[in-house]
Structure 1
Amino acid sequence: MMAQTDVLGLDGAAAIVLGVGPGMGLETVRVLASAGARVTCVDLQEDIAESAKELAAELGSEGMALTGDATDRSFVDSVVEQSVSRWGRLDSSVSIIGRNQLATLEESTDENWTSNWDINLRPPLLLTQASAKAMKKQGSGSIVVITSINGTLSSPRAAAYGAAKAGLVSMMRTAAVEFGRSGVRVNAISPGVVLTPRISFLAGSEEGAQFEARIPMGRLGSPHEIANTALFLASPMSSYVTGQVIGVDGGASVAYQLPTPEWKQH
């Protein structure tokens, strides 16, 4: 039987994961390392980056931990430079940093908009630019950014967040067009409601049940399901996929339930 690493084509590949905290980031490190990729684990917090690095080692791969501010261009540039210096190449980068700072549109301040854009758009933009520069030299590579269902659908109190995520999608598509002939692919993952530690309170709650009722698959997502999609996009299995937004949301983005008293499937 062919080994999983042979199927995915990532054995010995080099990857960067930006934002490796518990949840989607750590799970992405897990699946990439399990597939044989060497992973540069980047986070604002040193202990989190080190834990992700140790996880990669436990899974039989190699890891490197780097700590710094992902909104700082010089730091992000150095992440790519150090990764290429360590591994000799860069095959994929995944940017998972993001945070929704809620405010109604009427109450949104300049600070709220600037903060949402700085954390949700700037880090993936910087990593995309730095990664593409390295990947173009070798003639190949895959860049993955995490957007959100809020980038295409509206949600109360999330105007700034949604606008930043929509801007991220636009940036990704432009990058895919500009870098395509250099062998560099750029794609986005659009998660729905995913049970990360930050929103673990939804599990088993009335609010969580309300979310689940609006999802065709009838449940919330898991970080592992987002990570598996990142694994696919990072691997040669998606070699003809670029400029795409892949929704991982249980069908939430395509569902429109009529206001009937009872919803029945036939």
Structure 2
Amino acid sequence: MSLVNALDFSGKNVLVCGASDGIGYGVAKALLEAGADVSITGTRTAEDYDNDFSGMTFYSLNIQDADSIEALAQNFQTLDVLVNCIGSVLWGKAEFEREGFEKILTINLTGAMQLCTEFFPLLEASKGNIVNLDSVVSIRPAPANPAYTASKAGLVQLTKALAQKWGRKGVRVNTLAPGMVPTKLTANQSSPEQEAEFAKTCPAGRFGTPEDIAGGVLFLASPLAAYVTGHHLVVDGGLSL
């Protein structure tokens, strides 16, 4: 393997779930620029979003519906990399109610598990890999979001369990924890005033960007990480320190 060309994804089939916007969209664009054949998912149709999906194949996915995940997998004959960027949160006190708590775990954890298992046969055939995106809350819990915190912490351990289970079959499984990145999910936390306050405590002195996260994903998905599995890569500008 040439380390110089390790980030060339030409000829690789990649699926980025949860890539209609935000971090997932940034990851998908980076993989597309690296030469990959990129498919993405969103909860609605491609026409319902303002982003440019040129060069990507778009699929609508209801991550809460097991049949929808199974149907998505039927569209693929080969797959080299699965990136799970799906995540949802409820504000107010909704995550303290059973219905809200179960909804977030279904989306963020149960859905991630089914994505991994549905696509495992194709990844085993290609000796491919999975990159799950958890969150810095898996290290520093968010007291107002118990379901989001629990689901993302659970995703870290799920990733490690799958890495142990599938390693000898040639499939690597890693997870990446983004820090604070302004997206629709964090819109109530990312005003210019909030960023100024954040910069005082974060060693990097700024919010992260989707491109910051994409760099970590490309590393984990590439041959540069050929001997890396079950790893939890934290990309948070030092926030969790």
Q: Same fold (TM over 0.5)?
A: yes
SS of equivalent residue, structure 1 residue 190? strand
Aligned match of 1:90 in 66, 79, 82?
79
Mapped partners of 1:52, 1:127: distance in 2: 24
In the alignment, is the contact (CA less than 8 A) between 2:61 and 2:72 conserved in 1? no
Mapped partners of 1:48, 1:28: distance in 2: 20
Mapped partners of 2:189, 2:152: distance in 1: 23
Kindly state the Cα deviation for residue 52 of structure 1 after the two structures are TM-superposed. Answer: 6.7
In the alignment, is the contact (CA less than 8 A) between 1:196 and 1:222 conserved in 2? no
Kindly state the Cα deviation for residue 148 of structure 1 after the two structures are TM-superposed. Answer: 0.6
SS of equivalent residue, structure 2 residue 240? helix
CA RMSD of aligned residues (A): 2.3
Identity %: 31
The two structures have a TM-score, normalised by structure 1, of 0.82
Kindly state the Cα deviation for residue 200 of structure 1 after the two structures are TM-superposed. Answer: 5.0
Mapped partners of 1:200, 1:50: distance in 2: 17
Answering whether residue 88 of structure 2 is matched by residue 99 of structure 1, we say yes
For CA contacts below 8 A with separation 6 or more, give which structure has more relative contact order: 2
Answering whether residue 71 of structure 2 is matched by residue 73 of structure 1, we say no
In the alignment, is the contact (CA less than 8 A) between 2:16 and 2:85 conserved in 1? yes
Mapped partners of 1:40, 1:34: distance in 2: 13
Aligned match of 2:103 in 103, 110, 115?
115
Mapped partners of 1:19, 1:203: distance in 2: 20
Answering whether residue 144 of structure 2 is matched by residue 157 of structure 1, we say yes
Mapped partners of 2:81, 2:48: distance in 1: 18
CA deviation string 1:208-237 (max 9, x = no partner): 222222211111100111112111111112
Kindly state the Cα deviation for residue 197 of structure 1 after the two structures are TM-superposed. Answer: 4.1
Inter-CA distance 40–160: structure 2 relative to 1 (3 Å threshold): same
- Match of residue 35 from structure 1: 34
Inter-CA distance 80–196: structure 2 relative to 1 (3 Å threshold): same
Kindly state the Cα deviation for residue 72 of structure 1 after the two structures are TM-superposed. Answer: 2.1
Q: Which amino acid aligns with 2:41?
A: V
The two structures have a TM-score, normalised by structure 2, of 0.90
Answering whether residue 172 of structure 2 is matched by residue 185 of structure 1, we say yes
- Match of residue 125 from structure 1: 113
In the alignment, is the contact (CA less than 8 A) between 1:142 and 1:185 conserved in 2? yes
Inter-CA distance 249–176: structure 2 relative to 1 (3 Å threshold): same
Inter-CA distance 8–161: structure 2 relative to 1 (3 Å threshold): same
Mapped partners of 2:227, 2:48: distance in 1: 32
Kindly state the Cα deviation for residue 195 of structure 1 after the two structures are TM-superposed. Answer: 1.8
In the alignment, is the contact (CA less than 8 A) between 1:145 and 1:188 conserved in 2? yes
Inter-CA distance 53–219: structure 2 relative to 1 (3 Å threshold): closer
Mapped partners of 1:64, 1:169: distance in 2: 28
Bigger radius of gyration:
1
SS of equivalent residue, structure 1 residue 143? strand
Inter-CA distance 217–182: structure 2 relative to 1 (3 Å threshold): same
Inter-CA distance 210–76: structure 2 relative to 1 (3 Å threshold): same
SS of equivalent residue, structure 2 residue 20? coil
Inter-CA distance 239–50: structure 2 relative to 1 (3 Å threshold): farther
The number of equivalent residue pairs is 239
In the alignment, is the contact (CA less than 8 A) between 2:10 and 2:36 conserved in 1? yes
